[in-house]
Amino acid sequence: KVNAKAQDPDLLYRAKCAACHRVYPPGKHTYQKLQAYVARYGKGLSDKERRMILEYLKKNAKHERELGGKNAQ
């Protein structure tokens, strides 16, 4: 039996992050900010989990141009 979380980045993100806090939609933040959160709070993630989650967040993060500028958040 294959673990669904191991195959689905969305499920992995929700399962791992919800263990400690409410899961926020990635589109609320820029990828840069999400990377910082993963670096700070994702200490218990395996390298594979970290890569999968970061790839998922990158695809689903808010883009700078949607924020109205480079420094807006």
Strand partners, 62: 30
Cβ–Cβ < 8 Å for 57, 38: yes
pLDDT in tens, 22-72: 999 999 999 999 999 999 999 999 999 999 999 999 999 998 666 555 554
The pLDDT value given to residue 63 = 83
Write down the pLDDT at residue 1: 45
In the structure, what pLDDT confidence band is assigned to residue 73 with cuts at 50, 70 and 90? very low
Residue 7's pLDDT is what?
82
Residues 6+ apart with CB under 8 A from 51: none
Closest C-alpha to 34, from 13, 8, 7: 13
pTM, two decimals, is 0.78
pLDDT at 72: 46
Residue in the block written with tokens 């294959």: 2
